[in-house]
Amino acid sequence: MEHRNFALAGLMGWPVAHSRSPDIHNHWMAEHGLRGAYVLLPVAPDTLGQALRALPVLGFAGCNLTIPHKVAAMALVDRVDPVARRIGAINTVVVQPDGSLAGFNNDGFGYIESLRDEVPGWRADAGPVVVLGAGGAARAVLVGLAEQGAREIRLCNRSADKAQALAAELGAPVRAVPWEQRHAALADAALLVNTTSQGMHGQAPLDLALDALPPQALVSDLVYVPLVTPLLAAARARGNPVVGGLGMLLHQARPAFAAWFGTMPRVTPALRALVERSL
C-alpha cells in the first residue's frame, strides 16, 4: 500500500502473550530504518476470518499465525503456497497488492537455514536422517529436509499411528520406524533431529541412548528453552556437533519480513543475544 508509510505486521494467536516474534521483527524494523511496529494481536478462534480480512483495511503488510490458528487459517486465505500446503499449516499471511491474502509456512526454511548458518557445508544428502516426533514442527522439518534432497528419513514417534500416517502422507524419503527402535535407528545416521517437546524446560529429558550414533553425526533439537537441552549436552559430551532450536525461530522470521517489507533481514549476533535475554 504505497500511500502508507507506517510498516505494520503482527502475530495472531489465542493466547499470544509469550511470543518472541515482536522482539525479532521490531529489531529488524529499527535496523532497516523502518517506521512501524510488529504487534501482538489476540484473536479468538471464531473471529479469525474477520481479523484476517481486516489486515488490508488497517494497512497491515500481513501477519504471523500461532496456536490455534495455523491450520484453520489455510481455509480462510485466498492462496496457499504449495510448501505450506504440504506442511499442512500456514504461519505467515502476506497482503497482496490487490488486497487478497496469501499464506506461507516458513518453519521448514527456518530449520534448514539454521543448519546452514551454524554448520557451513551442511548437506541434506550426507546420510540417513532420524526425526523424532510427528507433530506440527516435525511436518515442517520433514518437508524441508525432503525438499533439500534427504535420501532416507527415519521417522520415530511415541504414538506409532501418527508416524505411519505422516510417512504415508509425505511418501519417500520418509519412512516410519517404531519408537522402540529409535536407539538402533541412529546407526549410520548423519543427522538426528528432536522435534518432540521432551527436553523442554519443565518436561522430562528425551529418552534416547546415543551409543549407536556415529560421532560425526549432527544432532539438532528444536527445543530452545533451555538453549542447551539434555540431548544436546549428551551429544556434545561425546563429540557430536550440535545445533539448538533458537536458529530455527530466528530464521523462519526472515522470509516473512522480506515479503512484508521488501528486504531480507539477517540473523546477527546482536539479534541472537536480544532474544536469548528474553528466554
Query: Does residue 162 carry a catalytic annotation?
Result: no
- Residues from 6 through 65 that contact ligand NAP (CB under 6 A): none
Q: Is the peptide bond before 269 cis (omega within 30 degrees of 0)?
A: no
Strand partners, 193: 131, 220
* CA 153 centroid distance within chain: 18
Site string for ligand NAP, 128-167 (x = CB under 6 A): -----xxxxxx------------------xxx--x-----
Q: Which is nearer to ligand NAP, 34 or 112 (CB)?
A: 112
Q: Decide if residue 240 touches ligand NAP (CB under 6 A).
A: no
Which residue, 59 or 148, has its beta carbon nearer to ligand NAP?
A: 148
Taking CB under 6 A as the criterion, the residue among 213, 222, 235, 243 binding ligand NAP is: 222
Segment contacting ligand NAP by CB under 6 A, of 16-24, 82-90, 242-250, 255-263: 242-250
Q: Looking at beta carbons only, is 7 or 105 nearer to ligand NAP? A: 105
Given the residues 20, 25, 70, 182, select the one marked as catalytic: 70
Q: Which is nearer to ligand NAP, 56 or 86 (CB)?
A: 86
Among 91, 195, 229, 240, binds ligand NAP (CB under 6 A): 195
- How many residues of this chain interact with ligand NAP, rule: CB under 6 A? 23
Residues of this chain that bind ligand NAP (CB under 6 A): 107, 133-138, 157-159, 162, 195-198, 200, 222-224, 245, 248-249, 252
Catalytic machinery residues: 70
